[in-house]
Amino acid sequence: MTKIEIYTKNVCPYCTLAKRLLESKGLTWEEINLSTNPERTDEMLERCGGRMTVPEILINDKLIGGFDDLAELNKSGELDTLVG
């Protein structure tokens, strides 16, 4: 089973776009909302190489990056390979 995690914040249009893209592919994910769980910010920084922007997307514990990175993987077909 593919494990997808997304670090988000409440007011984040790119977070919404990332979730819509995943939803359009029938995928499920765990959302870690830093607006309601700010104590998990350090966790995100550690797991995402110090990146401070959201969304930050991980698939099977591998950092994908933000929405643009996810969209590029989708466009190239690599996302389908990653999520099997």
* Domain encompassing residue 26: 4-83
Using CA atoms, how far apart are residues 78 and 72, in angstroms rounded to an integer? Answer: 8
Using CA atoms, how far apart are residues 55 and 64, in angstroms rounded to an integer? Answer: 10
φ and ψ at residue 61, rounded to 5 degrees:
65, 10
* pTM reported for the whole predicted model: 0.95
Distance of CA 7 to CAs 18, 39, 55, Å? 11, 12, 5
Put residue 61 in one of left, alpha, beta given phi > 0 → left and psi -120 to 50 → alpha: left
Per-residue model confidence (pLDDT) at position 26: 96
Q: How many domains does the chain fold into?
A: 1
Confidence of residue 84 (pLDDT cuts 50, 70, 90): confident
> Domain with 33 in it: what CATH number?
3.40.30.10
21-79 per-position pLDDT tens digit: 999 999 999 999 999 999 999 999 999 999 999 999 999 999 999 999 999 999 999 99
Cβ(6)–Cβ(56) below 8 Å: yes
